[in-house]
Amino acid sequence: MKIALITENSQAAKNCIIEEALTSTVEPMGHEVVNYGMYTPEDKAHLTYPMVGLLTGILLNSKAVDFVVTGCGTGSGSMLAANAMPGVFCGLVIDPTDAFLFAQINDGNAVAMPYAKGFGWAAELNLQDCYRKLFEGESGVGYPKERAAVMAENRGVLADLKAASCKDMLTVLKSVDQDLLKTAISGDRFEEHFYPASKDEQISAYLKSL
């Protein structure tokens, strides 16, 4: 699985801590982490949480990555922005139980985490435990197991609701504030990471045209 890490501007100073916790946990499982920044508070491209949502939608809808790990001060803003995008199912994960239940019940493709609220002593250990519960096993198995079929059916219903209520990603990209979009994709390593990995030629071509 290819996992993208996106860090919102208010928490950019913690990018290296988050990346280390994520990579040290998931790379031994065979997953790949791609860090889309922000890398430091001094980065030229400042990713606000609405931009995090846009970037999450771009990465998942283009199939450049399989999963997005993001967050902000509380995690709520990034979660809301991500869930505003078509095809994105983002959960708020605060502790390992949240991570386990989200993976098993909701089987989403993104998580948002709080990197300021409650981020105290041994916070990196909590991150590692959360990532372990998210990525160590098969997602969508269900919990409790006897309700697995009902949960899978509900995920299908939610996917249908999302498809009915959202425009496709290319239409979203053409409709949003173009300066906002340009900033969202202006990170130092966006071109290096995204274009070789994107599997949607239309999304890639539109972003290149900007």
pLDDT digits (tens, 9 = 90+) for 69-81: 999 999 999 999 9
pLDDT at 26: 98
As a whole number, mean pLDDT of residues 133-159 equals 93
Residue 179 φ/ψ, nearest 5 degrees: -70, -40
pLDDT at 195: 98
State how far the Cα of 102 lies from the Cα of 100, in Å rounded to an integer. 6
As a whole number, mean pLDDT of residues 116-126 equals 95
pLDDT digits (tens, 9 = 90+) for 74-107: 999 999 999 999 999 999 999 999 999 999 999 9
Helix 49-61 with 201-209: angle, nearest 10 deg:
140
Question: Is there a cis peptide before residue 86, judged by omega within 30 degrees of 0?
Answer: no
- pTM comes to 0.96
State how far the Cα of 103 lies from the Cα of 58, in Å rounded to an integer. 22
As a whole number, mean pLDDT of residues 136-148 equals 91
pLDDT digits (tens, 9 = 90+) for 157-192: 999 999 999 999 999 999 999 999 999 999 999 999
Name the nearest CA neighbour of 99 among 124, 69, 120, 60.
69
Question: Is residue 6 classed as helix, strand or coil in its secondary structure?
Answer: coil
Sheet holding 2-5, edge to edge: 32-35, 2-5, 67-72, 110-114, 90-92
**The domain made up of 2-209 is a member of CATH 3.40.1400.10:** yes
pLDDT at 156: 95
- Whole-number percent of the chain with pLDDT over 90: 99
pLDDT at 104: 96
